[in-house]
Amino acid sequence: DQQVKQNSPSLSVQEGRISILNCDYTNSMFDYFLWYKKYPAEGPTFLISISSIKDKNEDGRFTVFLNKSAKHLSLHIVPSQPGDSAVYFCAAKYSGGSNYKLTFGKGTLLTVNP
């Protein structure tokens, strides 16, 4: 049972426009969410995170929104640049107990066209 879902395998946007990547989760115990960016044949790099006590976190061109009631989060990239083209993974965890496991979605391939 997939607990973190990224239902769009791919997304294509024009340079300068907004990219919106979506992520849904089913486990209501998750209380911390992260986005990673991954280029082919490289390891993922941490992008931005959000705690469940917040509904928005912003870092430069990247903003993550969290809607707890809908169990939905989204990553906004504004403005999108060709260098943003990569696979974006959403990840979630439950901070309680001693389990440090991150649960990842399957990823969304973002292509930013010049």
Partner 1 sequence: DGGITQSPKYLFRKEGQNVTLSCEQNLNHDAMYWYRQDPGQGLRLIYYSQIVNDFQKGDIAEGYSVSREKKESFPLTVTSAQKNPTAFYLCASSILALADTQYFGPGTRLTVL
Cβ 19 to partner 1, closest distance in Å?
19
3-state secondary structure the chain: CCCEECCCCEEEEECCCCEEEEEEECCCCCCEEEEEEECCCCCCEEEEEEECCCCEEEECCEEEEEECCCCEEEEEECCCCHHHCEEEEEEEECCCCCCCCCEECCCEEEEEEC
Q: Which is nearer to partner 1, 60 or 100 (CB)?
A: 100
Pattern 25-64, binding to partner 1, x per CB under 8 A? Answer: -------x-x-x----xxxxxx--x---------------
Q: How far is the CB of 44 from partner 1 (least distance, A)?
A: 5
- Judged by CB under 8 A, which stretch of 54-62, 64-72, 76-84, 90-98 contacts partner 1? 90-98
CA 54 from centre of chain:
15
Size of the site for partner 1 (CB under 8 A): 24
The alpha carbon of residue 109 and the mean position of all alpha carbons in its chain are separated, in whole angstroms, by: 11
Question: Judged by CB, which is closer to partner 1: 11, or 15?
Answer: 11
Residues that bind partner 1 (CB under 8 A): 4, 9, 32, 34, 36, 41-46, 49, 89, 91, 93, 95, 98, 100-102, 104-107
